[in-house]
């Protein structure tokens, strides 16, 4: 199994390590590669979009290199039912609808999750925090939120996986998973439950 981590910006290395550890625990042979250019995602079995700054990551994935761009490759993997996971800024990019910040910055979204997201939903008082979350199909996970977005509208075919206070913070539509928090940070403490869930999310 080959897993690609979109490596243009953000917490890329943490996702690479978390995925490698999750593969080892599940006994899956393969490799995990961070990539900044088109050509790798299209030859992968799964892809992760890390957190970071959604405006920056969007520009880079939609930028053509030759005749290809990474955005098209990510959409194609999703259409094939292969696991696609976005965390934090990655959740924003996977969504169909954004908020006024997304509009104002003319951030292009991939539209793979039929949800509306709100950037920086938890405000300045709570820029980052950690809470135990009940995650459907996984159990309780310690979730780290860092200037996190939230899902504020959910389409009919979207499954809600976790909620915190009045917000939806984890969703799934087919093989596409979006999380408002940062599961890659838990791998440091040996917890790779979310990455294992992701690796198992193939629809074939
Ligand atoms: N606030 C960032 C954004 O809107 C996301 C933060 C993160 O990915 N940790 O793009």
Read off the tokens for 80: 């094939």
The minimum-distance atom of ligand 1 relative to the CA of 57 is 10
CA–CA distance, 151 with 95 (Å, rounded to integer):
9
Contact status, residue 97 vs residue 81, Cβ threshold 8 Å: no
Confidence at residue 144, expressed as pLDDT on a 0 to 100 scale: 96
DSSP letters, 38-98, are TTSGGG-SEEEE--S-HHHHHHHHHS-BTTB-HHHHHHHHHHTT--EEEETHHHHHHEEE-
Confidence at residue 126, expressed as pLDDT on a 0 to 100 scale: 77
Confidence at residue 11, expressed as pLDDT on a 0 to 100 scale: 86
Confidence at residue 8, expressed as pLDDT on a 0 to 100 scale: 78
Look at the domain 2-200 and name its fold: Rossmann fold (3.40.50)
- The CB of 115 under 6 Å from ligand 1? The reply is no
SS3 142: strand
From first to last of the 204 residues of the chain, give the pLDDT tens digit. Answer: 999 999 977 889 999 999 999 999 999 999 999 999 999 999 999 999 999 999 999 999 999 999 999 999 999 999 999 999 999 999 999 999 999 999 999 999 999 999 999 999 998 767 899 999 999 999 999 999 999 999 999 999 999 999 999 999 999 999 999 999 999 999 888 999 999 999 999 887
Confidence at residue 162, expressed as pLDDT on a 0 to 100 scale: 98
Q: What is this structure's pTM?
A: 0.96
**Domain regions of the chain by residue span:** 2-200
Instruction: Return the HEC string of 164-188.
Output: ECCEEEEEEECCEEEECCCHHHHHH
pLDDT tens for 130-177 read 999 999 999 999 999 999 999 999 999 999 999 999 999 999 999 999
SS3 27: coil
- The CB of 38 under 6 Å from ligand 1? The reply is no
| Rg from Cα positions in the chain | 15
Instruction: Label the pairing between strands 176-179 and 167-173.
Output: antiparallel
Of the listed 14, 73, 173, 184, which one is catalytic? 184
88 is known as an active-site residue: yes
Give distance in angstroms: CA of 29 to centre of ligand 1: 32
Q: Ligand 1: which of 92, 105, 108, 124 to mutate, most ligand atoms within 8 Å of CB? A: 92
Torsion 175-15-165-122 (CA) sign: negative
């Amino acid at each position: 199994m080959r897993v690609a981590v979109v490596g243009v910006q953000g917490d890329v290395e943490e996702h690479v390590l978390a995925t490698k550890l999750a593969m080892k625990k599940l006994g899956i042979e393969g490799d995990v590669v961070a990539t900044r250019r088109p050509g790798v995602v299209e030859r992968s079995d799964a892809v992760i979009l890390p957190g970071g700054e959604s405006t920056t990551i969007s520009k880079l994935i939609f930028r053509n290199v030759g005749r290809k761009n990474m955005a098209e490759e990510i959409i194609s993997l999703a259409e094939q039912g292969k696991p696609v996971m976005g965390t934090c800024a990655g959740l924003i990019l996977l969504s169909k609808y954004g908020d006024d910040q997304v509009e104002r910055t003319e951030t292009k979204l991939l539209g793979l999750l039929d949800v509306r997201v709100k950037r920086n939903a938890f405000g300045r008082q709570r820029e980052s925090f950690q809470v135990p979350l009940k995650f459907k199909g996984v159990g309780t996970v310690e979730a780290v939120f860092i200037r996190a977005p939230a899902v504020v509208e959910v389409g009919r075919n979207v499954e809600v996986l976790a909620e915190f206070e009045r917000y939806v913070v984890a969703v799934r539509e087919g093989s596409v998973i979006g999380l408002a928090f940062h599961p890659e940070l838990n791998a440091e403490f040996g917890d790779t439950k979310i990455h294992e869930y992701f690796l198992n999310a193939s629809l074939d």
